[in-house]
Structure 1
């Protein structure tokens, strides 16, 4: 399974939390903006272009590897990693990359 598919399967279900967790939605939105900027997919257009699937997959894999190396365990709530992984999942789904 590709890194994007793995992240999407694991964190896509968290989109349902947006309806009752506005702070989580805002945090994920900020992570999406940071990812677009980092992956050079940012744009002043009303509808920014899709990030390159390979670049997003490579980023995802590196991020997952770093979490594994640090011994990260997914918390009950929303930490930086959960927000970042949910943002990756959102980008992958939004642009049909996974």
Structure 2
């Protein structure tokens, strides 16, 4: 959330194209995995491991990995998984 989520989620109110792209990624996640705290967290850790393996770094650009990570952050926020102030 600190590196990408907060800044990307703040952009959603001003960028309809970003909303649509994040919504599409969120829909794909809903179809692929159960959206509960543990499963979403496990998905996020695995996805981040793969990104690190590939050498991906968040640059602020709207690429596929950043959109997917934003969707994970959005789902975590919408489902109340961040209410206990644990990092996502």
Do both proteins adopt the same fold according to a TM-score greater than 0.5, normalized to the shorter chain? yes
Gaps of 5+ in 2: 83-88
Moved over 2 A (4+): none
Matched, 1:91 2:75: yes
Structure with larger RCO (C-alpha < 8 A, sep 6+): 1
- Taking only aligned residues, the RMSD between alpha carbons, in angstroms, comes to 1.3
Q: Which has the larger radius of gyration?
A: 1
Aligned equivalents of 1:12 and 1:80: distance in 2?
Answer: 17
Residue 58 of structure 1: how far off its partner (Å): 0.5
- The corresponding residue for 2:86 is none
Q: Secondary structure at the match of 2:2?
A: helix
Tell me the matched-pair count. Answer: 81
Report the TM-score, using the length of structure 2 for normalisation.
Answer: 0.83
Aligned equivalents of 1:24 and 1:67: distance in 2?
Answer: 21
Report the TM-score, using the length of structure 1 for normalisation.
Answer: 0.75
